[in-house]
Structure 1
Amino acid sequence: MKTWVIDLGKCNGCYGCQLACKDENVENDWAPYAKPQPNTGHFWLKMEEKVHGQVPKVRVEYRPTLCRHCADAPCIAAAPEAVYRRDDGLIIVDPEKAQGKRELVDACPYGAIYWNEELQLPQKCTGCAHRVDQGELPHCVEACATGALRFGEEEEFAEELACATDAFDVEGTAPRVCYLNPFGLFVSGEVWDPAADLIIEGARVALVDATGNECTTVTDGFGDFWFWHLQPGAYRLVIEADGFKSLERTIDVAESLNVGDFPLDKAQEA
């Protein structure tokens, strides 16, 4: 069975995959798999963006989204006479039999099926089935400059699929588009010496979760510290630096946070 493996750690948000999908499908008729995608309004592959943090500590997460070609596809259940799964796992909305079936748009829990008003037709990613038939890769995969998008037999990706996240899955659909290395949340801040009015480089910073698991880092040349790939929850932040009093705070992480700056007082000499 065919599957996609999308490594979010490699995606830089260049939009090459989204543009490649447009290039392949707009004004092109790929019978019997799809009629032309309209010029506007459809994103059979769409780049999702999420902004994390607060100024000045901000990062952007990118995630290419497309039809998940689910093993238990709700669209097939909604219209089995109009939607079918190929032997290789690609799911096709038949452009002839699906005519007028607007209800298929709402049947997809991932929002991957679009309505073509002019053709009165539900449409979506076909996995570039016309290219796969010729032994070629889907155009989005071929165009990916960083290697974030890959496509092939699931046996090829067995080790990576075992590590894939289910964070973006709808329960019960068993999607065949799998994601690696999700961004998660981050916590960042700055440590400084108010007496000298200077940042403190090399301060030791620990972040401890509710179960006692501890992550550690040190402040960089700007006095900044960063903790990546965090789960939501309550954390204890501990900051230490030679010659300074330690500092401790409790923070609740629901979204990525710039927790601000932390002035450290000088330790009293013995």
Structure 2
Amino acid sequence: MDLVKRMFMGQLARLAAGAAFVPLASVAHAKINEQPPRRGGDPEKRWAMLIDLRRCIGCQACTVSCHLENDAPLGKFRTIVSQYEVEDEATGDLSTFFLPRLCNHCDNPPCVPVCPVQATYQQHDGIVVVDSDRCVGCGYCVQACPYDARFINEHTQTADKCTFCTHRLEAGLSPACVESCVGGARIIGDILDPDSTISKMMDEHYSDLKVLQPEKGTHPHVFYLGMDDRFIDRPEALASVWDVRGEDFSEMGYEFSGH
């Protein structure tokens, strides 16, 4: 049996085993406001990220550093920077628009209530995480996320996503994507602290801040400064950088496919 078939059969076996313990009725009746109690994290903090699109140069340093820091499988990413060619509506001139994307660590995350085993949960500090020891890899949370921010990790067979690098935050460090950002476009901090950089920037630019898909009612905590209004909702477009090739250099698809 070749590698692809083994991986596929392994996933089917895991899903079948997990399904035996999944109360489907509870999933069917889950609503976005039926969140389990928060656990873990510092209740005196609320982590958020502000992305200044005026400073993003699309270098992909954040994508690469996150991929290395979190050991993601080939072709899967916890954060990406999608690149689009856009037309100026007034002049018709073309320009490039970079849109960094990641888990939005919503205050009302739709991925949490659909998890049948409560492997996906929200910490007291607002960060949404996955308990890989409990996750059965059913993929409900992947489908529920409106931001395409989750995937099933083929190595662990569990849900995977951005965690704001909680392991680094707990050590007093910045997330890998923030630390590696060449233009200083990513700012993370505690929005409950009025003296934090992110709080001061949010106060200064309050009227200009935007979030993705606000109509979903998820209350995202990734804020964008300098956002083109055409990208608040997911545009019908294909990202245009980097193709993924296998060990034999055959093309496997685009790294940003599905984003």
Structure-2-length-normalised TM-score: 0.62
Counterpart residue type for residue 132 of structure 1: L
Corresponding position of 2:141: 104
- Write 1 or 2 for the structure with the bigger share of helix: 2
Q: What is the CA distance between 1:18 and its match in structure 2? A: 0.6
Corresponding position of 2:203: 159
Corresponding position of 2:22: none
Secondary structure of the residue aligned to 2:83 is strand
Corresponding position of 1:73: 109
Counterpart residue type for residue 133 of structure 1: E
Corresponding position of 1:44: 78
* Distance in 2 between residues matched to 1:161 and 1:4, nearest whole Å: 14
* Distance in 2 between residues matched to 1:6 and 1:67, nearest whole Å: 13
From 10, 15, 33, the counterpart of 2:60: 15
- Write 1 or 2 for the structure with the bigger share of strand: 1
* Distance in 1 between residues matched to 2:87 and 2:144, nearest whole Å: 34
Structure-1-length-normalised TM-score: 0.60
Corresponding position of 1:204: none
Corresponding position of 2:255: none
Within the alignment, does 1:92 sit opposite 2:137 as a pair? no
Give the 4+ runs in structure 1 shifted more than 6 A: none
Secondary structure of the residue aligned to 2:100 is strand
Contact 2:112 2:141 in 1 (8 A): no
Contact 1:85 1:91 in 2 (8 A): yes
Q: What is the CA distance between 1:182 and its match in structure 2? A: 1.2
The alpha-carbon distance between structure 1 residues 71 and 20, as it changes in their structure 2 partners (threshold 3 A), is: same
Q: What is the CA distance between 1:166 and its match in structure 2? A: 3.5
Corresponding position of 1:2: 47
Secondary structure of the residue aligned to 2:216 is coil
* Distance in 1 between residues matched to 2:143 and 2:205, nearest whole Å: 28
Secondary structure of the residue aligned to 1:50 is strand
What percentage of aligned pairs have identical amino acids? 34
Contact 1:17 1:139 in 2 (8 A): yes
- 1:13-71 Cα deviation digits (max 9, x unpaired): 11111111112111xxxxxxxxxx21x121100111110129x9321000110000000
Contact 1:3 1:176 in 2 (8 A): yes
RMSD, aligned α-carbons: 2.1
* Distance in 1 between residues matched to 2:205 and 2:145, nearest whole Å: 23
Tell me how many residue pairs correspond in the alignment: 174
Higher relative contact order (CA 8 A, sep 6+): 2
